[in-house]
Amino acid sequence: MANYISVPITGISKDPRPMNTKTYALDFKNCLMTSRKIDGIEAVNQYITKALMTPRFKCLIYSSAYGSGIKQLISTSPSRKYLEASLSHIVEDAIIHDSRITAMNNDFSFTFDGDEMNISFSVKTIYGDVQVKENYSDV
């Protein structure tokens, strides 16, 4: 016969937010990691930027779920129409793996200006909506 241990169920949080998501702030302009710690929506913004700029399957330190295929798509896309059709799915696949991100809104847009492409979209997070704007060159 099995023995059961009684475990009191007290102190369980009903708050769906992670308790601590602090990380070090990155200085993207100078390619440095700072000693300043960030949390909340600022940390989510940094995650999105970092996930979009990191090429998927190229950095062995990351799992195959981390990073994006944007740069590969840009370099191998047969046409801008193909790029337009694939881009929102590539972006969503890059960022949706973070548990703080709940959904990508349906406001994905992009513009071409010569050899540059600008994308913008918003994301629903557990902290509120985040507006994202990224620029890619050599498109």
Instruction: Enter the pTM of the model.
Output: 0.80
Buried b (16+ CB within 10 A) or exposed e, 70-84: bbebbeebeeeeebe
Residues 53 and 67: their CA atoms lie apart, in Å, by 7
Residues 4 and 11: their CA atoms lie apart, in Å, by 21
Phi-psi map region of 138: left, alpha, beta (phi>0 left; psi -120 to 50 alpha): left
Residues 110 and 87: their CA atoms lie apart, in Å, by 9
Total residue length of the chain: 139
> DSSP letter at 54?
S
CB 6 within 8 A of CB 20: no
- Give the model confidence (pLDDT) of 9-41 as tens digits: 666 556 655 556 799 999 999 999 999 999 999
- Give the model confidence (pLDDT) of 39-77 as tens digits: 999 999 999 999 999 999 888 898 988 999 998 888 888
